[in-house]
Amino acid sequence: MTIYVSNLMSQINEEELKKVFSAYGTVASCKIIGDKFTGVSRGFGFVEMEDESGNKAIKELDGTNLGGRNISVAVAKERVDRSFPSGRSY
């Protein structure tokens, strides 16, 4: 399952985030999304875990304090292709 984590401090790195989620099970991958020009964290990321451990991590970590901020943790939604509005191509 893919887990969406938001309200992250810009100073947190992927290793730190992975360590937090590893307490609930094996983390397959961890990615913090950065600005494409500056590389600075945009304050959210994604963690991949097995369903059972992922659900437990969501339940336990949502709303908890990480680095001075209360993080939001939820199941990630499918990405919507927004390349052309209303499905039109130009």
Query: What's the mean pLDDT in 56-67?
Result: 96
Which segment of 6-15, 42-51, 68-77, 79-88 scores lowest on mean pLDDT? 79-88
Query: What's the mean pLDDT in 47-62?
Result: 97
Where do the H-state alpha helices sit in 8-89? Answer: 14-22, 51-61
* Both structure tokens of 82: 């927004």
> pLDDT band for position 88 (50/70/90)?
low
- pLDDT for 13: 94
What one-character DSSP code corresponds to residue 1? -
Q: What's the whole-model pTM score?
A: 0.85
Q: How many CA atoms lie within 13 A of 31 on its CB side?
A: 10
Contact indicator for 63, 7 with CB cutoff of 8 Å: no
What one-character DSSP code corresponds to residue 67? T
Domains along the sequence of the chain with CATH: 2-76 (3.30.70.330)
